[in-house]
Amino acid sequence: MKYALEVITREHCFSGFLRLVRYRLRHSLFAGGWGPIIERERIEYLNSAAAILYDATRDQIVMVEQFRIGALEHGRGAWTLEPVGGVLRAGEDASEVVRREAMEEAGCEVLDLEPIGTYHVSPGTSADRVRLFCGRVDAALAGGIHGLREEGEDTRVTVIDTEQAMKELYAGRINTSVAVIAIQWLVMNRARLQVKWNHWSDTEFLSIRGLESK
């Protein structure tokens, strides 16, 4: 198949905290040729970066609780438990954004940073993409209420054991896409990060966990 599209018009419908644009376009079909002209509204770029903060020594995750308008109808569920993160400003590097947001939202210095990946949040309606990382922190220093008042931020730090975080996925308090993706990645890379960030050898790691072969 030849992937092709033609944007015919762009109409700016609204500009506030978000920016909405209506597109008239057509695109190529899997069976060949062109499809009909369609109209679609899209929330324009609000690209962001986020990081799951992990203490590999204590095997704990640092997350923040904050109000989210998208979950307005869900009562207490409107206060979600998420990784730290923020919007990328023009010319900003994603890694610097998460380091800054870790300090602003959780009072944590990121000691090391590992990229997880980039994903579309909701490509059916939005151009938003998240650049996701895992950051090494000292969870013993995490806590309190943070956020920039002038930006309407009010974030409360929660330190949670990794095992408990895994239990909270889907059925519990951890139910946003950025949190689910980040914790699932952490589960798959947990042992490697504990070796890397604690400067243990594989043998030392197995011994500490009581998993050495007999």
Contact 88, 95 (CB under 8 A): no
Number of H helices, E strands in the chain: 4, 11
- Report whether 10 contacts 25 (CB < 8 A): no
- Are the C-beta atoms of residues 105 and 154 closer than 8 Å to each other? no
Q: Phi and psi at residue 90, in whole multiples of 5°?
A: -55, 125
Nearest to 127 by CA among 10, 24, 39, 46: 46
Q: What are phi and psi of 205, to 5 degrees?
A: -60, -45
Task: Verify whether residue 151 is a known catalytic residue.
Answer: yes
Q: 11, 151, 204, 212: which is the annotated catalytic residue?
A: 151
Give catalytic residues, as residue numbers.
Answer: 151
